[in-house]
Amino acid sequence: MSLESYSKEEWEGLCEQCGLCCFEKFEDEDGRILFTSTPCRYLDVVTRRCKIYKKRFKVCKECMQLTPELVKDLKWLHRECGYKKAMSNEQ
């Protein structure tokens, strides 16, 4: 089954809710992605859960809805990300 054919629930189920993608990050002049220690204000750093999960895309402009196409191209998702792992298993 290709990732593109996953239902919304199946796709979201790949997220391991580590919260790492919810920390500020930037790309340096060498193209390296550097994470800061500053989490999104809506991330509960203890539970690693979003406090506004159901409305996160409406409320938080920085929150990005991940798709299989995006996951293939994003350099800042860590290799232990559930989406990245599923993508590498598919290839």
Site of tokens 């580590």? 18
Give the count of domains, the chain: 1
Q: pTM, whole model, 2 decimals? A: 0.79
Q: pLDDT tens digits, residue range 21-80? A: 999 999 999 999 999 999 999 999 999 999 999 999 999 999 999 999 999 999 899 888
Buried b (16+ CB within 10 A) or exposed e, 70-87: ebeeeeebeeebbbbebb
Rounded CA gap, 23 and 37, in Å?
7
**Segments forming the whole domain that contains residue 61:** 3-90
